[in-house]
Structure 1
Amino acid sequence: MHQSHDNSPLFSRSTLVILGWLAAVLLIVWLLPANNLLKTAGNWFPTWLHSCMELLAIVVAALVFSISWHSYRSEQAGNLSLLACGYLAVALLDSAHLLSYRGMPDFITPSSVEKAIDFWLAARLSEALVLLGVALRAWRPLTHPQQRYQWLAATLGGVALMVYLRLYQPQLFPRMFIEGQGLTPLKIVMEWLVIGLLACAAVGLLRRREQPFDRQGLLLAVGISILSELCFTAYRNPHDIYQLLGHAYKVLACLVVYRVVFVSSIQQPYIQLTSEISERRRAEQQVETLSFYDNLTGLPNLELLRDRTSKALSTLSRDAQQVALLYMDIDGFKDVNDSLGHACGDTLIRELGSRLQGLLRSSDTLCRATGDEFVILMPDVENAESVGLLAERILNGLQRPFLLHGHLQTISLSLGAAVAPHDGQDCETLLRNAETAMYQAKQDGRQTWRFFDSTMNQQALARLQLLNDLRQAIAQHQLQLYYQPQIDLASGRLSGVEALVRWQHPVRGMISPAEFIPAAEESRLIIPLGEWVLRQACAQAASWQRQGLALPQVAVNISAIQLQHGHLEESVLQALADRHLPASLLELEITESSLVDKTEQVIDSLKRLKAMGVNLSIDDFGTGYSSLAYLQTLAVDKLKIDQSFVRDLTLNQDNRAIVSAIVQMAHTLGLACIAEGVESQDIAAALHRLGCQQAQGYLYARPLPADELQTLLQDWPAAHWAQDGTTE
């Protein structure tokens, strides 16, 4: 068994403090006058208390045996097995002592003080001898494991012999107590013999510095046992204060020994096992790191990428998502190594890996393939455009130069992309095709990217071109607001206008909002675009107001992305303040689906706008996730019935039922209703009969530029559009 040299002090501070306090208590009692009531009283230690304390000591001694015996390991020092056998003898002899105590029922022969003392001395001698043996025996495992069973047999045989002789041959035992006189000199000598053995055990523990377990604990147990035995040399009455102190110290000593064997037999092996497990896990993690991660960057290597790609590809049959690999290579990396040195090249690789990592989603995996090549796994791709957007984001993210050991270095990448299942259904095929696309990008001039599939390449490039043009359109004032009237069905009067953005491209002409609005939302260009629409609509409404045009309000559409990330409240307040426009003249149209993932911040912002007088309406009502909760929470003013329900209102009974239900609900909640997409007088009349108050659509006017709308509104044929019977 491995032994470590113990350089700790002979007595630890805690050991000295505990022994000092216990010795001080005994010394105070010892120094009291002989006639002091504390020393003469004979009721300090009644029989019931003696029985309780002896039972506790017996249980603890039995636990010492049980733990030491059953936790035995072949590499464990045999001293613990010796301690186990010794404390088994102590438990059994203390049990005989308890049963023989005066006042207890007869234990085969009549109970008496002398009978109890004989078993007591046998237990104390056993305890002292075993502690001495543990202290003097070399700290090594048993030579033969069966030796412990020999010790156990000897222990049980010795205890049995002692019990037999004391019960059936009592004349062999000298007098230890005389009634009326107290302890005999022999009894006191025997107690001092026990003290002497314990003192020898303490010296043995102090001299032996190699300790496989708690030497301080054993020293403390021996010291407390010596104090206990000193008490038993001084008592004159089985129930006096010395008996109480002696038994209390005895129980405490047993508890300390129990702690020693518990720590050495259970706690220390458990801690060692935990440490070994932790060390093994660290080793496994190190092996995993070496096997699956790149040493230079700490990024996954190709082996881990292949594993993750295979797992991602296994889900393709269960959902409609695609899996993409982007293969990239630094353009002219050899020149960096040759001109600045390999240390700068390594720094560039690390910094590039860190910068690329910051551009990815949490679900993506960035891998360093080899040298200056990196691969990105996108496991859940909705469409090829999102792959192209990431490629563009990477290229844009490299415009800022890298600082390499004091040198500013600008680099570029060539990227290739392959998308499963179209470009391959296994990792190796995707890697090969993505690398092929990357080399195509290098041939096309570098600092660009290509799809492996040419058709997909054209589609992605077209979408990216659209986004680039849209960015320029916002900056170069190619956008224009058109306005569509909203009328009151009962009177035919104008109730408001809706602002709708149009894009007049210098080459392609008028581009439909159905084409560029989804792209703007996907790229978040909808935020600056929406802010521009809001400012222009408020400016136009203020202009009409100054010209005396009675316009009740102008409605502006707000996207879900503006709600969540566009600082809507600040934008609205700024637009109103810049044009001194009353808040009541502005209406914000919020789609029903955009409120599904509403946050408390969004709701609070809308509530504050509502409190200022801004009107709120729910656009495309009936097509999202309808909930009465947000209608009540936001206190909206209007529901806008989606045109998909309005278009066939007179022909489709289901649509009629849906519109009727929406109108009735709005009336119940005190909200106005407006229907969009009204294209015939029959539909307008049907809406009026169902109780819908307002409408907009081609029946009244198409979306028009501001000047054309102004001309139309100056001579608005209100009576012509009334549905209350006053039509022309």
Structure 2
Amino acid sequence: MRNRDRVKTSFASLPTQAAVTEEPWPPTPPVLGAHEPVAAGRVPWPLLVGFTLVFLLFWLAPPLEGLKQSARFFPVALHTVMETMAIVVALLVFAVCWHAHDTPRASGLTVLGAGFLAVGLLDLAHMLSYKGMPDFVTPASPEKAIDFWLMARYASALTLLAVALRPWRQRLESIPRGGLLALVLGGVALACLLRLLHPELFPRTFIDGQGLTAFKIASEYGIVALLLVPAAVFLRDWRRGADYDAGSLFTAVVITILCELCFTLYSNVNSLFSLLGHTYKVIAYAYLYRALVVAGVQAPYEQLNREIGIRREAEERSEFLAYHDALTRLPNRRLAADRFRGAAAQGQRSGSRVALLFIDLDNFKAINDSLGHLYGDVLLTATARRLVESVRGIDTVSRQGGDEFLILLTDVGDAESLTPLIERLLERIQEPCRHEGHELISCASIGVALYPDDGEDFDTLLKKADMAMYRAKGAGRNTFRFFDTHMDAEVEERLRLRNGLHRALDAGTLLLHYQPVVNLATGAMEGVEALIRWRGEDGQFIPPARFIPVAEESGLIVSIGDWVLGEACRQAARWHADGHTGMKVAVNLSALQFRRGDVERSVVEALRKSGLPGHALTLELTESILISDTEQVLSVIRNLKRLGVRLAIDDFGTGYSSLSYLKRLAVDTLKIDRSFVGDLARDPDDAAIVAAVVTMAHSLGLLTVAEGVEDEETRRQLHALGCDHAQGYHFARPLPAAEITRLLSEAGLPHEPALAG
């Protein structure tokens, strides 16, 4: 670990803070412009009951009989004021409906407005016609006033009936708005002309000294009958929560019914019932107006406010998501980079450092794959909370994406001072997280880079913290590493090798060397192991130990393995064609080829194209293949065995092999690892292990091959222990195919006679 300045702030005693909640923020907004129902309005039941009781009191109470006949309660002046109020409200109803926001798409408003224009005009004719008013074309009289009254009331009742029976928001397409207005004005004009010019066409409604006629009373009851239908409809819609103010419309209709009942009972136009009826009419109009203000003015305004609120919320959500992670609500990489710039500027002024921690959960994929993404989200949220609780308020915890987090620590000193905090982070991450009966346990690998030592910009620090995190994973996971300059060189080297391997497949700079496999009993070369070699651009060979791990990491090992298999089979087929039909070739397969490639297809294709018989090919399997998806591996191996291909377990004894695997895989050969062979002549433990392996193999009917034979003494001892075959520098180094061909033509290895002795 590098020496740094001592830390300025102690992390061992930092206060904790909670800044992450499990609730997502912000909630998903509704679709902009979506229609939301207007409140149906409240029905003032106490008011309706009170009005009804007043009406019944005036109607049924015997002591009030004298008051009912009096002509003093409703003088002309008061009558005129109340009618004027009713006319004004009716015309306001028309104006609001006609210019309301909903008019183009709501027939309820259009019909109501047109109808009450007619009602207002007919009420005006009524006001100009009752006794005591100046002549309106013809002399004023109670009958003239009553006729216009009945016209206005029927216009009102029919309008409310039409509004109730048509869906409120059904488009009015049969009659255009201008045509509807002309029809209403024409109808009112025709009614007025008929009454003014031909009064004889209208039945008697009032007789002086006698009061109302039967026709007049029946007409009022007809209005009441018509109003009962919209009252029932509006009450039903109010109970269902209609998208218009059905409550106010219902109230207006009920009060209008009381109004009409009053006008079946008076005996003179200035009586108490006439006053009560006109009072009810004005109140009913007021409730109509209220319903229209809600539907035509208040509702659009509220809808506009809702849409503005929704849009503002969407903008805030968009701004939030631009700088935060939606799941954990942590800052994202963009905001972390912005905060780094501020921390770096402060660090320059104070002479302090900024630390960037790159955190990757080690077993997150296993949890996601086994339990599902919901459990993965729970674990990520819990991890985010623990990270926030473990750092100071001036620090930043960020989610990089997936199962990766960043922590930006400001105002820090040397690397050693960060160790207690990082160790605490590792402990907090390992704490169990329980969800729906499952216990989720994770661990993490952490890489650390410091500003300005390791870089002066965010992207450079992020890259180097990432390198250090992968070094921590390589060190066994659940640990941390600080960046050092050697990591840069390693990454550059791996990148260079990866790019070179891509080119090598096309450029033909990959080639095979073959190491002889010798029968220890006869000294004869019975086969070879194909070993890949790579000649670099400078003409020098690059050791397999350097480029094979890069090939596996990048996935190139699959295509490289297919090439090796095909090339080895072609070369072995040539040797068979030259008469060396006993030659066998062994090819190594990696675990990645089993997981990502189609091994069976590759083997079949290589044998078919080369013409090599299956028994001449040996596939060497590493023990790591046996512990990954065993059933799938067994299925592939069974199919390969049907082709006659032989199987060998490479480096036996160093991995995870078990006798059950040997039995189920039906292998043919065990290759004893060089770690047991190198000191065979000097280490009795190695001799015992080799003897045990050979005995076990023979008891199972398997052949044995010892790797790494470097001297004659080792060869003799292996032969004495019963080992069947061997390979190593004592016999020959891996050789080009031409050299093996030469040896075969010379009928053996250069020192073959010595081997037979």
Give the TM-score normalised by structure 2: 0.48
Larger RCO of the pair (alpha carbons < 8 Å, separation 6+): 2
Larger Rg: 2
